[in-house]
Amino acid sequence: MLDGRAPDHLDPHGLLSEEQLEIVRQETTPEGPPLTVFVHFPVWPLNSPWMDENMLILNGEKLHEALLPARKRLRGVFHGHVHQSMQTTRDGIVYTAVPSTYSQFSAWPTDLHATLDPVYPPAFNFVTLLPEQTIVHQHVFARP
């Protein structure tokens, strides 16, 4: 679990401290047990202009570089903040955004501003971590 909360003047972006990154570097050796990472903010651009401009970890590239040595045992990097279910794979590492149990943000490449998606219902992911694979089931539920 990483603390990506940035100073207030950078909000709503995230930022990992050098101390957090050093812990990641220490934990991400090629050998070891399966590893899963949780952080609130997305690491990579999501092809949504307003999300990419406002919602990312500002030093996501450094986090990714720190994770690379453990990519064969890394079961996934899970994040929220974008109120959408999205997956990004880079260098064999899967980054999965979880949907919101309240409401989803609209995230099309043509969306220039934050809006609530009127169609996509509240949802959550149920993640099963197995020795050789990760299974993500998305569950949606009706709005009250």
Residue ranges and CATH numbers for the domains of the chain are 8-140 (3.30.750.180)
Instruction: Answer yes or no: is pLDDT of 143 > 80.
Output: no
Average pLDDT, the chain: 93
pLDDT tens column, 36-85: 999 999 999 999 999 999 999 999 999 999 999 999 999 999 999 999 99
| pLDDT-based confidence at residue 124 (cuts at 50, 70, 90) | very high
- Crossing angle of helices 18-27 and 60-67, rounded to 10°: 20
Q: What is the pLDDT of residue 39?
A: 97
Q: What is the pLDDT of residue 61?
A: 97
Q: Is 126 exposed, middle or buried (0-12, 13-18, 19+ CB in 10 A)?
A: exposed
Using CA atoms, how far residue 60 sits from 1, 53, 76, 101, 142, in Å, is: 15, 13, 15, 25, 34
